[in-house]
Amino acid sequence: MTTRTRVLLVAAMLAPLAAAQNARHVYKVDFTIRDSGDASAKSGRKYSLLVNSRVKANFRIGNRVPTATSNAPGSTSYTYVDVGVNIDCVVDEIDNAIGMHADVDMSGAVNAEKNPNANPTISQIKLNIDTTVLPGKPTIVASFDDPITSRKFDVEATVTKM
């Protein structure tokens, strides 16, 4: 057997292993965000994404709020600020667990009570999460107290292979 033949034979035997390592899987990622200060929302807000392994998925929901940026005589310019819930997520299988990176951004606009024509105040909570979860098991991946409102939030993630 020639060296070339041996190399081709070994490459043919290893090809299925390489393909399995590079195979992409689809995962369903469910995020549940609970506000313990809101008794009427015990089940929390639910957000779901279908994610290919090792590919970033984006989820955006919310509004664009206008804020005045200049007030020159006779004209006003506006900049629009995105508020709502933004989630960026990447998952990958690691042994019998799922590695997950998620950027979660929750924001809202509050108008001034004394001057309704003033620009709104933007409240924002940003989380950068790198963790490992067990497939199909709901896991609290973040828990925090909002320093402005004194409410407690829990972020739960469930990753299921499809």
Pairing mode, if any, of strands 152-161 and 139-145?
A: antiparallel
Q: Which residues contact 62 (CB under 8 A, 6 or more apart)?
A: 82, 83, 84, 85, 86, 107
Every domain of the chain and the residues it spans: 25-161
Average pLDDT per 10 consecutive residues for the chain, totaling 162 residues:
64 57 83 81 87 94 88 80 95 93 93 78 92 96 85 94 91
Indicate the pTM of the whole model. 0.76
